[in-house]
Amino acid sequence: MNAETKIALKPIKSEEDYDAVMDEISKLWDCPPDSAEADLLEVLSILVEDYESKHHAIQPLDPIEAIKYRMEEEDLSQKDLVKYFGSKERVSEVLNRKRPLTLRMIKNLYSGLGISADSLLSA
């Protein structure tokens, strides 16, 4: 695409609009920085981000799935979680959904493992 190519900028209102804008973005992806194409790419990206946040929002993980995901990501065992839960038994009960997370556990997991509060509080 050259600098003389014109595209009508308008809100994305449908999947067809979205697909068209994504096609334009792919054409602009390797444009030179600080060019007219780079400015257009930035504006189109903002439009896509707005549309995706409204129509393709990603829901937070279930709290237990979020914990298990972080365990896998950090290569942690249940034993490694004792400091966040208080005991080995408590870790097992929570991960097996036999006991709910307490506020203290949520705070510990958030501050110690960086698990999103949104995920830990969703249910």
Q: Which whole-number Å values give the CA distances from 57 to 2, 49, 60, 115, in the listed order? A: 33, 10, 9, 19
Percent of the chain with pLDDT over 90: 78
pLDDT at 1: 45
Mention the CATH class of domain 63-121.
mainly alpha
pLDDT at 61: 77
- pLDDT, one tens digit per residue, over 22-48 is 999 999 999 999 999 999 999 999 999
pLDDT band at 56 (very low <50, low <70, confident <90, very high): confident
> Please, which residues have CB within 8 angstroms of residue 81's CB and are 6 or more apart in sequence?
67, 71, 91
Please state, in angstroms and rounded to a whole number, the distance separating the CA atoms of residues 77 and 121. 22
Position with higher pLDDT, 8 vs 96? 96
Please state, in angstroms and rounded to a whole number, the distance separating the CA atoms of residues 93 and 116. 21
CA atoms within 13 A on the CB side of 49: 6
Domains of the chain, by residue range, sit at: 15-55, 63-121
The pTM score is: 0.55
